[in-house]
Amino acid sequence: MIAPPINTFSSDFKTFIINNNILTTMAAVTIAFSTGTTIRSLVADIVLPSLYTLFFKKVKILSGAFAPISAINVDNFLKELISWVFVVIITFLLIQYVIRRLVVTQQEKKLNIALQEKQNGSSVAAASISEQYSPPQRQYFTPGFP
């Protein structure tokens, strides 16, 4: 079996990443996992100890059962919250880099090819292609589905 050329694989992979919303899915899964960890820390370190001190501290029978969660652990929650902020920022920057690298580069290549064909006068379709592909606008990536 003959392996496909590297350039074909690379362009096919870029097309797959762009057209199938792989970046959006990756960002959603990464941020959702980090958010779940932060919420779990909020409940375990802040909410449950607060509820214990409000409701079960006076009841002597249940106080032994809730002894492990009796201390409010703000340090652990702040650590998870700062970690969540870093994950969101790094995910955003990674997606910005990939979008600029893949999408804008492909649009610029198509525009350059169309302009070269128009200058050479080799095809009438080149004029319509260059009109379709205006110079790429540098915009922020907004995650979402089309």
| Residue 85 and residue 31 in contact, taking contact as beta carbons nearer than 8 Å | no
In this structure, how many other beta carbons lie within 10 angstroms of the beta carbon of residue 79? 14
Q: Please give the backbone phi and psi of residue 27, each rounded to the nearest 5 degrees, phi first.
A: -65, -40
Query: Which two structure tokens, joined as six digits, stand for 116?
Result: 């070269």
- Encode pLDDT of 13-26 as tens digits: 877 877 778 888 88
- pTM score > 0.75 for this model? no
Interval 46-92: pLDDT, tens: 888 888 777 766 655 555 555 556 678 889 999 999 999 999 999 99
133, pLDDT greater than 60: no
**DSSP per-residue letters across 22-87:** HHHHHHHHHHHHHHHHHHHHHIIIIIHHHHIIIIISS-HHHHTTTGGG-S--HHHHHHHHHHHHHH
